[in-house]
Amino acid sequence: MSNRSAHSYKALAIILRAAFSTVVLIVAFFPVPYVRPVGRSVPMTDQTAAIVLCEDIFIRAPFAECHASTIAETPSGMVAAWFGGTKEGSPDVKIWISHHNGVSWSAPEIAASGLGSAGEPLPCWNPVLFQSSQGPLLLFYKVGRSPSSWWGMMRRSADSGRTWAEPRRLPDGILGPVKNHPVEFADGTILCGSSTEQDGRRVHFEWTGDAGRTWDKTDDLNDGRSFGLIQPALLQTGRRGIIALMRSNAGRIYETRTADGGRTWTRPAPLELANPNSGIDAATLRDGRHLLVFNPSTSSRSPLSVALSNDGRVWQTILNLENEQAQEFSYPAVTQSADGRVHITYTWKRLRIRHVVLDPGRF
């Protein structure tokens, strides 16, 4: 081999090694989301058969921790929000938002900040996005030093969350949906599951008939002394029927039901579903089945699982989204989009918000 040829091969080898190193760096810093090919026949014994997509909404962010995500579908696509800052309860914790353009999520942007009466920064908590049939996208969130002293806030957006009207404090005694999405009835009434933590953990329900301008509410359903209940997740049964599933400090998920649109409720009762005093969320699918995302444990926020039910009482776990032990996978949010797919977001180790899409035709 001539010296010229040898030098050419050496140059080519250097170029190939550099290209390989670049690819490795790109994969390491910009991981490709797992995508299950749609339409491929997968045995139902494979728990991941229903997973169409699993991705993180962001990899790096201008905050150290994040938690309590929410997701909604708007006319412009999916939108997600969460709170993020130095640490839960820190004064710099704000509400952050990201939009999906059909391919990827936008970089996180601030959607709301918290201020006290003297203009001092206060932490934000538990955002809830809701696309009302009356037009605006609603963002509910809480502001205050702790859940025992926070108050309800709301913002409206006429352009799917790109811009927002000025924040408005909700009336005294009204918090809005405290963690999970509301439901909207045919007459436009929006029913919210809410709860307080000032004197024990107590659940109540709130509703508005004019997209958040005026409100009414029930009394507390429990006294907060024998067991604590917070953060109802709402399932729909018929025209005015609702099942509310609730987080508890008694090791079980509790339920209560209404047949009159949320004015009166049955006495809360425990289900055979474990709960480690951590947030849950649920949705009624268009085919009538109910879907629940929860931590099936009395002490740990892992695993994070999906369960199905026909009646809201008997549930079957069909899928584990996460099962790494000694880690936190928590505070899920769930909604079904117009194309029938189920979108779930949740806290991933307090570092990221993970987004999973399920095909309900596969379970």
Question: How far is Cα 326 from Cα 338, in angstroms, rounded to an integer?
Answer: 36
Q: For the residues of 224-281, what is the DSSP string, one character each?
A: SSSS-EEEEEEEEETTTEEEEEEEESSSEEEEEEESSTTSS-PPPEEEEEE--S---E
pLDDT at residue 46, as a whole number: 64
83-95 pLDDT, tens digit per residue, is 999 999 999 999 9
Please list the ranges in the chain whose pLDDT falls under 70: 1-46
> pTM of the predicted model, to two decimals?
0.88
> Rounded to an integer, what distance in angstroms lies between the CA atom of residue 66 and that of residue 84?
4
pLDDT at position 33 is 41
Residue 117 lies in a domain: yes
**CATH number, position 92:** 2.115.10.20
**What is the domain extent for residue 112?**
61-169
What pLDDT, on a 0 to 100 scale, did the predictor assign at position 267? 98
Q: Does the residue 13 lie in any domain?
A: no
- What is the number of domains present in the chain? 1
pLDDT of 38: 30
Q: Which residues pair with 180 in a beta bridge?
A: none
Q: What is the token pair recorded at 41?
A: 């026949």
Query: Are the C-beta atoms of residues 188 and 147 closer than 8 Å to each other?
Result: no
pLDDT per residue as tens digits for the range 249-305 = 999 999 999 999 999 999 999 999 999 999 999 999 999 999 999 999 999 999 999
Distance CA 110, CA 41 (A): 41
> Considering the domain boundaries, does residue 285 fall inside one?
no
Per-position b or e across 60-90, b if 16+ CB within 10 A of its CB: ebebebbbbbbbbbbeeebbbbbbbbeeeee
* Alpha-carbon gap, residue 92 to 111, rounded angstroms: 13
In a domain, 68, yes or no: yes
Q: Could you report the per-residue pLDDT of 288-298, keeping only the tens digit for each?
A: 999 999 999 99
Render pLDDT for 112-122 as a digit per residue (tens, 0 to 9).
999 999 999 99
Q: Are 352 and 56 in contact (CB under 8 A)?
A: yes
Does residue 38 fall inside a structural domain? no
102 lies in a domain?
yes
Q: Is residue 229 part of a domain?
A: no
Residue 72 lies in a domain: yes
